[in-house]
Amino acid sequence: MGDQFEKGQQALLNEGEENEMEIFGYRTQSCRKILYLAGSIFSFGILPLVFYWRPAWHVWANCIPCSLQEADVVLLRTTDEFQTYSWKKVVWIYLSALNSTFPLTPNHPLISDEEYIINRAIRKPDLKVRCIKVQKIRYVWNNLEGQFQKIGSLEDWLSSAKIHLKFGSGLTTEEQEIRRLICGPNTIDVEITPIWKLLIKEVLNPFYIFQLFSVCLWFSEDYKEYAFAIIIMSIISIALTVYDLREQSVKLHRLVESHNSITVSVFGRKAGVQELESRFLVPGDLLILTGNKVQMPCDAVLIDGSCVVDEGMLTGESIPVTKTPLPKMDGSVPWKTQSEADYKRHVLFCGTEVIQAKVACSGTVKAVVLQTGFNTAKGDLVRSILYPKPMNFKLYRDAIRFLLCLVGTATIGMIYTLCVFVLSGEPPEEVVKKALDVITIAVPPALPAALTTGIIYAQRRLKKRGIFCISPQRINVCGQLNLVCFDKTGTLTRDGLDLWGVVPCDGNGFQEVHSFASGRALPWGPLCAAMASCHSLILLDGTIQGDPLDLKMFEATSWEMAISGDNFHIKGLPAYAMVVKPCKTVSQVPVEGIAILHQFPFSSALQRMTVIVQEMGGDRLAFMKGAPERVASFCQPETIPTSFVSELQIYTTQGFRVIGLAYKKLEMDHHTTALMRDQVESDLIFLGLLILENRLKEETKPVLEELISARIRTVMITGDNLQTAITVARKSGMVSENQKVILIEANETPGSSSASVSWKLVEEKKHMAYRNQQDNYINIREDISDNSREGSYHFALSGKSFQVISQHFSSLLPKILINGTIFARMSPGQKSSLVEEFQKLDYFVGMCGDGANDCGALKMAHVGISLSEQEASVASPFTSKTPNIECVPHLIKEGRAALVTSFCMFKYMALYSMIQYIGVLLLYWETNSLSNYQFLFQDLAITTLIGVTMNLNGAYPKLVPFRPAGRLISPPLLLSVIFNILLSLAMHIVGFILVQRQPWYSMEMHSACTMRNETISKLTVSPTAPEKNGSNSDFPSFENTTIWFLGTINCIIVALVFSKGKPFRQPTYRNYIFVLVLAIQLGVCLFILFADFPDLYRRLDLLCTPALWRVYIIIMLSSNFIVSLIVEEAIIENRALWMIIKRCFGYQSKSQYRVWQRALADDPSWPPINQTSYSDMPRCGRGVSYSNPVFESNEEQL
């Protein structure tokens, strides 16, 4: 139902975005509503409960399909593989509510202009707006385009000229009121969920409903003790969950609370400057930024003046960022795409802190509100926490299938019970109780609680190691990781850079290296001026703050920083400009200082920054610094030394971070802010190279070696230079000494839609003094040795090449990713794309980064580990307090241990329920059963204690080169469960039949103990069977006693057999509490078996049996234990045997990356070294299909 849609009933919401959904229109029908109410009453609330679990059924039952334009209810379905349904009511917003403020007519000029979505949404002449609210975002019905559209943002198509013209002088009060009503308040409102709501939501979980049914049934049978025990366990479980959810809710509320109550200055077109509460802001408002240390309450685009902002909340990096005003450009190009630079350098993001607002010529710093509420960057971050990506780990789907199998088994048992008890003439209510009992026996109500304990213990162990987890379910996923991506700077290498030296250049080429270690000052010249002024440092409360790289560079000059005073006037210079001056100790500097007039800030997309400066009493200059290759491309060719490529290579191959510097003189008559970036960044003179040292963290190499030895792939994704990345990969052991690196370069052909991709072997530099002039800045080997084709190679490529290959050579992409290890100059968006591409190849991907620009990749990966404690890390499931990658193997070990623990618990709970099920069904044959105290002993004293302590095994300290099975329905696990069920069945049947054949079985009394001194011949005199008193309420019987002892001790045996130790968990004997519990349980059971305490036997409804029979019971149990243990160790856990079986049956992994590995191993032409391929058509090779089963892998891995 719901797949046949009439025209206009279905549409896409947020098309192409991460939260894309399908939306369907429905109209409520009165007669259906009445039928639903009647059904709810007659079903005693079961129908609304089912509809609560299945929202789509609720809509289909109450409504009829219609077009979205007429709908009063919309059904939403996510477009991912989960296809999650939800429904929302369509509400009306009436503009007549504004009549008290100002009269509004359909022809009013404010709403007649249909250029903006907000006006297209107003239905005329009745002046009302249809709207829905989905995941905190408001959508309005666009009457012109006939679709629901997001509201609360400025339109993306607006050009910069339009923004300056329309919003540059503010909105009128009337416009503000209309926008306020339609867009809603500018608040990121995360209400603290009331405890009663959390409680109801938790209690209505299907599992707790089943527990409620079990408890009611047990109370009716007077099985109070275990019912109370389950109630207490459930209350504790619910209380802990509710407490946890409540704590998260409070934490999130506090995180966003401060944003909602900020007072801001807004400039109105007629009203002038007004002080407003930030919740009244609307998209298009003109903000006036004054003073320092201001929290941004919304996203805004800067149109006048500049700002220094701390974006730590968003990026995880507390480095001040300079924001520049949006230039006023002619044309109708959307403002975000009007220049090649990143548009974000003009945007002040919500939640960030404006450290300093620098006024321009107009005397004020102005910004236009771009997005409000949950549409903002901070709102998006909060929504990603409120509505996380659902988990689709196969373990959880298998768990549901497993439970369904148990339900199927219970159904068979119910039919059997009905037949047996009806034929024996039992009263109907007893028959129903006994039949329902079978369900609670076959499906253990304690199963989910037992599974959760393992994850809770793992979480606690991780917390001790300083690893915090906001998504505990992902701990199991950690156990399946087989590829980990690492950011370089701050993750593999140290955060701080040390300035090693500069290599100045003149017309003749590079000069001698000037080393700062010697303590000599850098002689005065343009290079010194560039180092002193080409940065984005700021002076705050007397201390210099900014990017660590800029800070090291500036400190090396021994200059100082100051703010210009009122007496400092230069044409085009804003008041209170930043001025750098030489210290008193620095001699022979002919200038008083340098004033920084204008900045074009650094952006990772452009890989450069530029400043315009004024020498006091001297020239006006422009300085540029950035990636050397990028800087050189803006310089006059004759100023670049001929040895540029080889000189650069000398330093990058040693792992140094290299920065290029260049400058030019500017005309004095230009107004600095009027100069366009492309005018300034042309015909520069190359100055030299700045060499910085970026050392590996001590922990990096051993951790990477540990991961590689465990056959876990390691990949580097960095924004740094490609050669530096290759060197760091070699130094860290990611690429070993005997492995080759193949450089892949892909370029789009200018002016056409074709592209080329070339493959070159990178030669490792041995000697620093070696100079070689080549076209490419990475040394390339022409000769190819055969061993480069033997799989011992790694691909290295840049973000640009990755982009071109994705677009033009998509059929090559999976082949490259199979051996792609080094990805350099990657933008944040490309990092996320790469992680997703790896997931498409069925890899379980971990991402470890310092949070700075890895947020997207951390969220995209199966397991994201942030090494930053900034707020941005809340988007990552795991956060490590120790800022190095040692947390990665710890997390994988704990994940593997948690996964194995889950399997042990599943197997144990399945066996426990089946042992009880077999025993009860055998006793039902005699219209007998286990008594309440017998059930209680098994359920509470045995299973509950085992369930709590079996999970206490810690992770094994060594990572082995294979992973635990990722699925419950895997042959070894199924075989283990089925074999042990059959073994238990055989033992119970043997015990059941043998006890009836014993010579003392036919005694009239209920005990064979009193006659133990008599001879067997005397015992066999009476042929009558034991008396049943005509009722099965008298539990004691020899069958009951035998079955109970066999079942109870078998539960202990199974726990011992199934409790796995090495290679993923600590050995069982190290789990002291568990061993102690088993020893005590076994001791108590043997005591009960061999002790002759009539009162104890009477309480447990047991009969006394001859000592020989008790020995027989021990023999049966011992045989069961020995056979089970041998099969488990010799067959089930014998990995070598399963590998042989796989080879015999020709089984091969179906994981995409395994398929590609096999295909490439058989391809003699791969990898294509020293070759170039061309694509004549754009997007060639799009026919390649590979699925993206996120959180899945069919692999039975090595």
Active site residues: 487
Burial classification of residue 123, based on how many CB atoms lie within 10 Å of its CB (0-12 exposed, 13-18 middle, 19 or more buried): middle
Quickly list DSSP for 267-294. EETTTEEEEEEGGG--TT-EEEE-SSSE
| Contacts for 259-266: CB closer than 8 Å, 24+ residues apart | 259/187, 259/188, 259/295, 259/297, 259/350, 259/351, 259/378, 260/187, 260/188, 260/189, 260/297, 262/295, 262/297, 264/297, 265/289, 265/290, 266/170
Question: In Å, how far are 964, 1135, 1194 from 1142, measured between CA atoms?
Answer: 16, 11, 14
3-state DSSP assignment of residue 665: strand
CB 822 within 8 A of CB 741: yes
Query: Measured between alpha carbons, how far is 908 from 1054 in angstroms, rounded to an integer?
Result: 7
Strand bridging mode 1171-1175 / 820-824: unpaired
- Non-local (6+) Cβ contacts of 604 within 8 A are 342, 719, 827, 828, 853
- Non-local (6+) Cβ contacts of 517 within 8 A are 500, 501
What tokens appear for 997 in the block? Answer: 């054949």
3-state DSSP assignment of residue 400: helix
Closest CA to 646 of 525, 734, 763: 763
Query: Measured between alpha carbons, how far is 683 from 634 in angstroms, rounded to an integer?
Result: 6
**Extended beta strands in 36-136, E state:** 63-65, 73-78, 85-89, 91-94, 128-134
Intra-chain end-to-end CA distance of the chain, in Å: 43
Query: Measured between alpha carbons, how far is 637 from 683 in angstroms, rounded to an integer?
Result: 9
The partner residues of 470 in beta bridges, in order of sequence, read none
Q: SS in 3 state form for 777-841? A: CCCEECCCCHHHHCCCEEEEEEHHHHHHHHHHECCCHHHHHHHEEEEECCCHHHHHHHHHHHHHC
Q: How many C-beta atoms surround the C-beta of residue 548 within 10 A?
A: 15
Number of H helices, E strands in the chain: 38, 43
Quickly list DSSP for 481-508. --EEEE-IIIIIB-SS-EEEEEEEEETT
Q: Residue count of the chain, please give it.
A: 1198
CB 123 within 8 A of CB 111: no
What tokens appear for 772 in the block? Answer: 């070689």
For residue 899, report the phi and psi dihedrals to the nearest 5 degrees. Answer: -65, -45
Tell me which residue has tokens 């599992």: 207
- Ramachandran region, residue 484 (left: φ > 0; alpha: ψ -120 to 50; beta: rest): beta
The radius of gyration of the chain from alpha carbons, rounded to an integer in Å, stands at: 37
Closest CA to 911 of 990, 967, 982, 992: 982
Query: Measured between alpha carbons, how far is 1066 from 1060 in angstroms, rounded to an integer?
Result: 8
Closest CA to 154 of 377, 371, 375: 371
